Amino acid sequence: MPFLRTDDGVDLFYEEAGSGTPMVFVHEFAGDSRSWEMQMRFFSRRYRCVVFNARGYPPSVVPNSATSYSQDRATDDIAAVIKGLNLAPAHVVGLSMGAFATLHLGLRHPQLARSLVAAGVGYGAAPGKRDQFRAEVDATANPRRSSSPAMGFPAVGFRGSRPAAGHREDRWS
C-alpha cells in the first residue's frame, strides 16, 4: 500500500490512476477514498487521479491525540499530498468535510490548485473562527465581484443550444 508522510509525521494512504493533469479527490466525514471509485474510474481516462484517506481513516494512521485533528490540519494534509506526489497545480475536488478543507487549500495555498470543486460544503470551523472565515470569504469574493458583471464567473447559458433528450425546451430558457 502506498503512503506519504505529512510534515507532522502522519502517514496517509493514497491511490492513483491515470496520467495527465493531476486531480485530487478529498472525501467526506462519512466516507473514505473508496467513496470516489466511480470518479476515479471515469476521470483517470484523461487525468492523473489521486485519492487519499484523511488522517484517522485507516489504512491512514489514526493519531491518538486530539491536537492532531483540525480544519487547518486537514488543509495541510491536502497540501502534503499535492507536494509529496509533485502534483501542483492540481484540480482539487472535495465533498462536505473534504470540500471545506479544499476551500481553505485555495485560500492558504493557491499555488497548489489549478481549480477547486467544493460540493456540499458547510461552515464546519471552530466557533471562534467564524468572523475570520467570513472575512476570508469576503476578501476572496469581493475583487471577483467588481471585475465582472457575472460576479467573477463566466456566463453559462443554454439559449440556442439543443436540450438533451427528455428535457423540455422551456426548462433552460
Residues of the domain holding 109: 3-126
- pLDDT confidence tier of residue 36, bands split at 50, 70 and 90: very high
Identity of residue 138? D
User: Is there a domain that residue 157 lies in?
Assistant: no
User: Is there a domain that residue 91 lies in?
Assistant: yes
Angle, to 10 degrees, between the axis of helix 130-147 and the axis of helix 97-108? Answer: 70
User: Is there a domain that residue 131 lies in?
Assistant: no
Burial 121-152 (b: 16+ CB within 10 A, else e): beebeeeeeeeebeeeeeeeeeeeeeeeeeee
How many whole angstroms separate alpha carbon 131 and alpha carbon 116? Answer: 23
User: Is there a domain that residue 63 lies in?
Assistant: yes
Tell whether the model's pLDDT for residue 156 goes beyond 90: no
Tell whether the model's pLDDT for residue 167 goes beyond 50: no
Domain of residue 63, CATH code:
3.40.50.1820
Question: How many domains would you assign to the chain?
Answer: 1
User: Is there a domain that residue 32 lies in?
Assistant: yes
User: Is there a domain that residue 135 lies in?
Assistant: no
